[in-house]
Amino acid sequence: LATSRRQAVASIAWSVLLLPPTTALYVVLSRFSLFHPLQWLTECLTVLTSASAIFSFILLCGVVLLVGFFNLEYYSVVPSIACSKIALLGHVLHPRQFFHSLVHCIMGVVVAWCCAVTIGGRYQALGEVTGTSHGPQMCLNENHLVLLLAGAFVGYSHSLLGLVHNMNYISFHTVQQYKYLCFKGTLPLVMRASAVQALYSLRNFLALYFFMGYVPRAWVCRTLDLQVDSSVYSLDCVSGLLDLSLLYQLWISASFLLFTWYITVLLFRIFVTEAYSFPVQPTFQEDAHQCLPEVITGKQPTILKFLALQDLARLSNHCPSRRQEVFSLSQPGGHPLTWTAVNRECLSLLSDLTERLVSHHDNVASNGRTKFRSWVLFPPPGGSRSWVLAHVHHPLTSSLMSIIPSRLPSCPSSPHVFPHVHHPLTSSLTSSLMSLTSLTSSLTSRCGPWPICFMMSDWVLFSLQLPEASSQALFADSQAHIWALEGLSHLVAASYSEDQYGVVQTTLPSILSAMLMLQEAVDRHFKLPHASSKPGRSSFSMGDSSYKTLRFALRATLKTSIYRITATFGEHLNAVQMSSEHRKRLQNFLEYKE
């Protein structure tokens, strides 16, 4: 835990260190003038050394620190997937997320203010003195106001889009690189992403300002007692907004804002997911809680468990000496404690997933398709193992319950009471709303108001359900399973030549049966509609969408893992005890027919 904390702090420190060059670049770009290159450069130098710039730079540092803190607080290695739009709405309205958005909004204003101070000129201050016929007067500088509002908007949309695109989700890459190379490789993408995202946010902001701009302007004028200068155009008209210099400054500032925040996110991800090598066996007794078998079996925090599983997968593949430690026997007693712990944890992960898939499939099979009933009454956590299960489904269930709390309990398991009525109804309902009214009237007379009410809510939920999402949610934490499979299969394959005491042999039947059972469950799952459809490849944004395809990765890894074992042991597997059904499946693998 201490190491991951340290990594996070290091990432924040690096993002603060990267701030000066970014700011300098921003200053250079914001004061860009093609025809006066000398003046441009000298101006940049004076701005960079001025007191106001240093003050705003300190503010920016504070903002970056805060963003880093939010990253640390809000990140997760298991994405939270909303199965329907209502659940998504629940996420957005969640107090925690609201706080996140609010703080980002304010930070956006702060950054925009710093930008305005740096640009100077007509963006410098909120009020300006103009001489009118009534003498000098404090007037509102709308350019400054627009810049601040744009900052607020971009900050808010960053927070909102971060939620929608799961920006707080941290994925582990299959290709491990050194941090610097990884950062260098991603930097151009981040630059592009921030520039493009700034464009989109700006478009939305300008549209909003065009229609609603007078509200904040009037409010600011009233509270600060400023006059509106009637001689200048107001900016919420077409000619006012088509000011190229203003648009350029807005875009550059928004890009700068997003870039600094994205860099913070990027560095955080790189530092936190860096492979960590846990000792397999403790050198001293007091370090025992830090060694691999202990951390793998541990519950909290999830990131440590993930790092340990990643380390297991890597050591099983690359490090013969560390593999040897896993196969070794404990000194007094001669028990394969390490292997037993690792094996037990991996198998429990696999059987957990199998269980989850089977129950999901049963739910679908009994109802014809997924019902929200199945989310609410999701099988209760089976003992201590289902730490992930609860985590994934908890926000979903709670948000659903919070939105439709009153209808559900009073409706006693209606799909089973009225199975015949329910089924044709929902299918016809989805086709047209017109038939709904007629059916409603006819059904109301037949079976009372409650089932209809239930069906309505059911139907509304369905129409808002996101396809594939239930499948994605099932496999949300599958990165852990992928590593467990890789680690186990590599260890088993290596045991063929490296395991001196035969510690792996005794567990081979259970490993094989766990893998084959999972294989069967995964095969059945992929026959469901939506399960095998690939999501469209999204254009690059900072949100990591790799969780959407985790199930494909799991399927591929599972097959490869079984093949790795069969290819290593070959005909010897016929001597392993297993059920005839599993033997048949294994024979397919031995003949390369899967």
In the set 560, 574, 579, 587, which binds another protein (CB under 8 A)?
A: 560
The span of 135-143, 207-215, 417-425, 555-563 binding another protein (CB under 8 A) equals 555-563
The residue from 496, 509, 524, 528 that contacts another protein (CB under 8 A) is 496
The count of other CB atoms within 10 Å of the CB of residue 94 is 16
**Binding segment (CB under 8 A) for another protein, from list 110-118, 318-326, 342-350, 578-586:** 318-326
CA 237 to chain CA mean position, Å: 39
Q: Residue 144 or 322: which CB sits closer to another protein? A: 322
How near is the Cβ of 77 to another protein at its closest, in Å?
16
Task: Please give the Cα distance from 137 to 468 (Å, whole number).
Answer: 61
Q: Which stretch binds another protein (CB under 8 A): 253-261, 343-351, 554-562, 577-585?
A: 554-562
Residue 570 binds to another protein (criterion: CB under 8 A):
yes
- Binder among 113, 161, 563, 576 for another protein (CB under 8 A): 563
CB of 362 to another protein, least distance (A): 26
276 binds another protein (CB under 8 A): no
Show the binding pattern over residues 171-200: x = contacts another protein (CB under 8 A), - = does not: --xxxxxx--x--xx---------------
Residues in 64-83 that interact with another protein by CB under 8 A: none
Binding status of residue 587 toward another protein by CB under 8 A: no
For 457, the token pair is 């809510």
Could you count the other beta carbons within 10 Å of the beta carbon of residue 208?
A: 14
Q: Which of 124, 324, 367, 549 binds another protein (CB under 8 A)?
A: 549
Dihedrals phi, psi of 177, to nearest 5 degrees: -130, 165
C-alpha closest to that of 173 among 311, 263, 306, 273 = 273
Distances (CA, A) of 168 to 73, 75, 175, 271: 9, 5, 21, 14
Binding to another protein (CB under 8 A) within 137-176 occurs at 173-176
Q: Which of 18, 553, 576, 583 binds another protein (CB under 8 A)?
A: 553
Which of 260, 513, 569, 582: binder of another protein (CB under 8 A)? 569
- Regarding 556 and contact with another protein (CB under 8 A), the answer is yes
Report the residue from 359, 426, 552, 583 that binds another protein according to the rule CB under 8 A.
Answer: 552
The nearer residue to another protein, 387 or 552, going by C-beta atoms, is 552
Which of 85, 546, 576, 583: binder of another protein (CB under 8 A)?
546
**What's the min distance (Å) between Cβ of 351 and another protein?**
22
- Please count the residues of this chain forming the interface with another protein, following the rule CB under 8 A: 40
Binding track over 451-490 against another protein, x by CB under 8 A: -----------------------------------x---x
- Applying CB under 8 A, the span of 215-223, 300-308, 312-320, 367-375 interacting with another protein comes to 312-320
Both structure tokens of 574: 């016929």
Amino acid at 512: L
Contact between residue 162 and residue 264 where contact means Cβ atoms under 8 Å apart: no
Q: Is 574 in the site for another protein (CB under 8 A)?
A: no
Least separation in angstroms between CB 260 and another protein:
24
Kindly state the smallest distance separating residue 511's Cβ from another protein, in Å. 16
In order, the DSSP letters of 275-343 are -----SS-SSGGGGGGSHHHHHH--S-HHHHHHHHHHHHHHHHH-HHHHHHHHPPPTTT---HHHHHHH
Whole-number Å distance between alpha carbons of 141 and 584: 79
In whole angstroms, the minimum distance from the beta carbon of 115 to another protein comes to 31
Looking at residue 496, its amino acid is Y
Tally of CB atoms within 10 A around 452 = 20
Residue with token string 């592009």: 192
- Considering the complex, state which of residue 99 and residue 178 has its C-beta at the smaller distance from another protein: 178
Distance CA 12, CA 214 (A): 39
Q: How far is the CB of 530 from another protein (least distance, A)?
A: 16
458 touches 79 (CB < 8 A): no
Stretch binding another protein (CB under 8 A), from 363-371, 425-433, 502-510, 565-573: 565-573
Tokens representing residue 119 in the block: 């640009």
Least distance (Å) between residue 492 CB and another protein: 13
Q: How far is the CB of 482 from another protein (least distance, A)?
A: 10
C-alpha separations of 462 from 307, 331, 365, 420, 437 in Å: 37, 59, 17, 19, 18
Contact residue for another protein among 160, 559, 576, 583 (CB under 8 A): 559
Dihedral sign for Cα atoms in the order 486, 487, 492, 497: positive
DSSP state of 18: T
User: What mask, x for binding another protein by CB under 8 A, covers residues 383 to 422?
Assistant: ----------------------------------------
Count of Cβ atoms closer than 10 Å to residue 9 Cβ? 13
The 3-state DSSP class for residue 158 equals helix
Q: What share of the chain is helix, strand, coil (3-state, %, to 5)?
A: 75, 5, 25
List binders of another protein among 108-127 (CB under 8 A).
none
Task: Please state the three-class secondary structure of 444-480 as a single string.
Answer: HHHHCHHHHHHHHHHHHHHHCECCCHHHHHHCCCHHH
- Nearest residue (CB) to another protein, 420 versus 537: 537
Taking the complex as a whole, the smallest distance from the CB of residue 592 to another protein amounts, in Å, to 4
Structure tokens at 514: 């766990």
Nearest in space to 312 (alpha carbons), one of 484, 172, 477: 484
- Burial class, 50, CB count within 10 angstroms (exposed 0-12 / middle 13-18 / buried 19+): middle
Q: Which residues bind another protein (CB under 8 A)?
A: 173-178, 181, 184-185, 314, 317-320, 486, 490, 496-497, 534, 537, 546, 549-550, 552-553, 555-557, 559-560, 563-564, 567-570, 591-594
